[in-house]
Amino acid sequence: MNIFKKILLVIMVFTMAMFITGCGKSSNVEGSLEEIMEKVYEKLPEDNRPMMLENREVNDENIEGFLGSKDIKYTEALASESGTGSIAHSVVLLRVEDGEDIEKVKTTIKEKVDPRKWICVGVEREDLIVKNKGNLVILIMVEDEKTRTTLEEGFDNL
């Protein structure tokens, strides 16, 4: 094989490796949780959002109320909920610590979160959405199907 063919082969292998690995690009979602939450809600019209919607920091003291378990190892978390207790709407973003088993975290959330944590309203467990992009996990616990789907699409499009 002549030198030009060898060089061409090396270039092709390198190019294919870049495509396969995504040019070294991380699969984690970049940006602050507030910025990411805005993107998740971007396509949801204001009049479809619950009253008094606000972001709340999730910490070691309140994580069980938002995600159902204190045993989740995370670096930061943010919840978006209505300020009124009778609206079944909770969206939680969670950055999981490096090296944690993402699938186990998602299963823990899905099994332990309380989908009836509000006054007189709730979400069916089978309607909970728990998914991830890299180390970012989202819980969408929303009663309205159209809103739930729109928020899920917002996360998928990050």
Give the long-range contacts of residues 98-106, CB within 8 A, separation 24 or more. Answer: 98/135, 100/73, 100/135, 102/132, 102/135, 102/137, 105/72, 105/137, 106/130, 106/131, 106/132, 106/137
Q: What is the pLDDT of residues 72-103, one digit of tens each?
A: 999 999 999 998 878 999 999 999 998 999 99
How do residues 45-54 score in pLDDT, each as one tens digit?
999 999 899 9
pLDDT of residue 24: 46
- Which residue type occupies 9? L
